[in-house]
Amino acid sequence: MGIDLPLIWAVIILFGIMMYVIMDGFDLGIGILFPFFPDKEDRDVMMNTVAPVWDGNETWLVLGGAGLLAAFPMAYSVVLSALYLPIILMLIGLIFRGVAFEFRFKASERRRHWWDKAFIGGSAVATFFQGVTLGAYVMGLPVRDGVYAGEPFDWLSPFSLFTGVALLAAYALLGGTWLVMKTEDALLHHARRVSIRAAWAVGAAIAVISVWTPMADAHIADRWFSLPNLFYFAPVPVLVVFFLLLLVRTVRGGAHAAPFICALALVFLGYTGLGISLWPHVIPRTVSIWDAAAPPQSMGFALVGALLIVPIILMYTAWGYYVFRGKVRRGDGYH
């Protein structure tokens, strides 16, 4: 039996995207939450909680995009052709966020508010258009003869706009629970209140999407509700409810790390539900991972590099978080 290279590459790409959503989600969430923390010193602490790790988190986005190009070039061309505008807007948001991150601490007091606004706007725009891109992708992209066959603005729909808003809530939850784990005193207590509100918003968004997608797509409905799949996949929504309630309980109960772990579990379960709905299509309902795969020689050559670089990324990421573990206090800084 030969090695299933498309399957291996699909796992690598899915892992890379999941790591990006989990790890870059909370620092984008910090920017989304900035308007709810107007105090200058609180904002300094918030940024310092992610200053040592935020740029390394985006390595996973590069890995996911480069892996898609190397392993599934047809899918890469279709996705970029269909979603070039929201992807460009997402990248512009990431650029504004990154520039604001570096220049905010160097700006004068009189001009710092401009960089705060750039940080807020960049984080919100990047997150919203990531969600829009996801929603448009889930609803399907028309393909004919291996190329995108839709219109430039087909990505714009009520569902994609809703997923954009839902992702804002999800990243805000990750950011809020990250602050619960990394801060103290008044900032910690305010982060707890914000996290509870964000948790209920995420729970409501998951419920709406869980109803909306099977109603809009018979294939997804059949995947989830036909027998015996219903019994196989039932643990996913049950665990979503469990971790949502556990998150709220641990936030109210005074825990520090547990709320963030619960938030990560919620995001992972949402990602799992998406995978269940779409597998094994790299372009939903039209192109499978095997149909879109690059030649075996190309995939094998790129796989060697991926198997070398992914462990290195994991090691330096783990080391960075280990070195900068613990609470961040006022007066601490990494700029």
Distance, in Å, from the CA atom of 300 to the CA atom of 189, rounded to the nearest integer, reads: 51
DSSP 106: G
- Provide the angle, in degrees to the nearest 10, between the axes of the packed helices 185-216 and 258-278: 10
pLDDT single digits (tens) 26-45: 889 998 998 998 888 888 88
| Confidence tier at 60 by pLDDT (50, 70, 90) | confident
| Confidence tier at 2 by pLDDT (50, 70, 90) | low
Kindly give, in sequence order, each residue whose CB lies less than 8 Å from that of residue 294, ignoring residues fewer than 6 positions away. Answer: 70, 71, 72, 73
* Predicted local distance difference test score (pLDDT) of residue 57: 75
Look at residue 266 and tell me whether its pLDDT is greater than 60.
yes
Look at residue 249 and tell me whether its pLDDT is greater than 70.
yes
| Mean of pLDDT over the chain | 86
Look at residue 6 and tell me whether its pLDDT is greater than 60.
yes
Look at residue 107 and tell me whether its pLDDT is greater than 80.
no
Which tops the pLDDT comparison, 281 or 33? 33
Rg (C-alpha) for the chain, rounded Å, is 20
Distance, in Å, from the CA atom of 137 to the CA atom of 44, rounded to the nearest integer, reads: 36
Q: Which residues pair with residue 144 across a beta bridge? A: 147
* Predicted local distance difference test score (pLDDT) of residue 332: 62
Average pLDDT, stretch 317-323?
Answer: 84
pLDDT single digits (tens) 76-100: 888 888 888 999 999 999 888 888 8
Q: Identify which of 206-220, 246-260, 310-324 has the greatest average pLDDT.
A: 246-260
* Predicted local distance difference test score (pLDDT) of residue 331: 63
pLDDT single digits (tens) 146-201: 788 888 888 888 999 999 999 999 999 999 999 999 888 888 899 999 999 999 99
- Provide the angle, in degrees to the nearest 10, between the axes of the packed helices 59-71 and 73-103: 160
Which tops the pLDDT comparison, 112 or 259? 259
CA-based angle 210:216:221, to the nearest 5?
A: 60
Average pLDDT, stretch 197-210?
Answer: 92
